[in-house]
Structure 1
Amino acid sequence: MPRKFIKRFLPDHQSIKRNKALKMFGTVLHEPNLWHLNRRSARGAFGIGLFFAFWPVPFQMWLSAATAIPCRANLPLSVATVWITNPFTIPPIFYAAYKVGTTVLGAEPTHFEFQFSWQWVVESLSTIGPAFLVGCAICSIAAGLVGYFGLNMVWRFSVQKAWDARRQARAENNSR
């Protein structure tokens, strides 16, 4: 079930090989394990993608891809998983990371109003920055581990369920 569900959203590896924009990577992207969707590559991709999703940097997808290649995790899935943090989900996710950071550091939460400017970011690093970065680090590690082991459990469960269904169907056919 997870394999069929995930595979619907992933591009074909042949179309990626033909993509002219990706020619600069040479044969690195021709590694078959980066495109195969199995339990090992999917759990690695989920772990990597969720790990980098909580990093407050603008190039999360590049970091995820750069890590997926040597880890031989599914490359498209690892890049797509990063998009859990998108323009709609970033405020609540990063606020939750800030709250985790204040809790861990034992700091008093500071009231602030977000402004979409570089000046606000630079000024906020001294006030809310430490708690925010600690919270992002903790959430990043926790999400990566939960993604890795959680997808592994879901995958194993679905395979076991399919085997049980086949076994039951075989038993019903033999009893007739």
Structure 2
Amino acid sequence: MKKSLKRVMPDPRKILENRQLGIFGKLLQDPNLWHLNRRSVSGAVAVGLFVMYLPPLGHLFMAAGLAIAARVNLPISVTLIWISNPITIPPMFYGAYVLGCWLLDQPVVGFDMHFWIDWRNWLAVLAPLLLGSLVCATLCSVAGYLTIQALWRWKLMREIQRRRARYRAATSAPSSSRQR
């Protein structure tokens, strides 16, 4: 898993040269932000998926700030926020809105163009949308973290089994030739 991640990871120097991330200054020099280990990658996935579900205002800065604070892989956390894009945002946030309405026991407003165009109606939508977004962000974050932890552990166990099989094959082959 680590090798495949290294192939697709951007060069840390390119990220350090990014003007938008310049506000973080020397904080970007922390080597933990660039490590690829189980803790760093699963934490970065959790950060990226959490920020992805927040209202799209400064996602890049929020993901970078949380990754720096949690000392998890910065490129992965910043990359995952791009799952929410102009195509995926409407269904994501409508689902979050419906969930928020359900949690607050409010009626769900269907897609009525006149309702959604009038900005004064947005205040009624804001509470369920924010609550639903926080719940979805937390659920996605926890699911992503646990999934990466499980996948990393599974991959590690497969590698250990392969090594054991190679070791057994290497140690049993010479002993069988000695018996002859």
Provide the TM-score with structure 1 as the length reference: 0.86
Deviation of 1:121 after TM superposition, in Å, equals 7.5
Gaps (5+ residues) in structure 1?
none
Offset at 1:20?
6.7
1:26 alignment partner, SS class: helix
Is it true that 1:167 corresponds to 2:132 in the alignment? Answer: no
Aligned residue pair count? 171
Separation of aligned partners in 2, 1:96 and 1:16? 33
Deviates more, 1:53-62 or 1:20-29: 20-29
Q: CA deviation at 1:147?
A: 1.4
Q: SS of the counterpart of 1:146?
A: helix
1:140 corresponds in structure 2 to 137
SS at match of 1:47: helix
1:71-150 aligned at under 5 Å gives the runs: 71-113=70-112, 120=117, 122-150=119-147
Q: Cα distance, 1:63 vs. partner?
A: 0.3
Give per-residue Cα distances to partners, 1:118-170, cap 9 Å, x unaligned.
Answer: x9483332232222111101101111111122211111111111111111122
Partner amino acid for 1:112? F
Q: Quick one: structure 1 residues 94 and 14, their matched pair in 2 at CA, closer, same or farther if it must change by over 3 Å? A: same
- Aligned counterparts of 1:75 and 1:45: Cα–Cα separation in 2: 7
Partner of 2:56: 57
Letter paired with 2:5: I
TM normalised by structure 2 equals 0.84
Q: Distance in 2 between matches of 1:24 and 1:106?
A: 42
Q: Which moved more, 1:94-103 or 1:64-73?
A: 94-103
Match of 2:41?
A: 42
Question: Does 2:8 align with 1:9?
Answer: yes
Tell me the amino acid that sits aligned with residue 84 of structure 1: I
The SS at the match of 1:175 is helix
Determine the C-alpha separation between the residues in 1 that align with 2:64 and 2:41. Answer: 13
Q: Percent identical across equivalent pairs?
A: 36
Shift of 1:15: 4.0
Comparing 81-90 with 124-133, greater Cα deviation is found at: 124-133
The 1:87–1:23 alpha-carbon spacing in structure 2 relative to 1, beyond 3 Å, is closer
Give distance in 1, aligned partners of 2:37 and 2:160.
16
Distance 2:84 2:120 in 1: 23
Give CA deviations for 1:47-91 in whole Å, capped at 9, x if unaligned: 111111100132112101011112111001010111111111111
Q: Do the aligned partners of residues 133 and 114 (structure 1) sit closer, same or farther apart at CA in structure 2, a change above 3 Å counting?
A: farther
Gaps of 5+ in 2: 174-180
Structure with max Cα Rg = 2
Q: 3-state SS of the aligned residue for 1:11?
A: coil
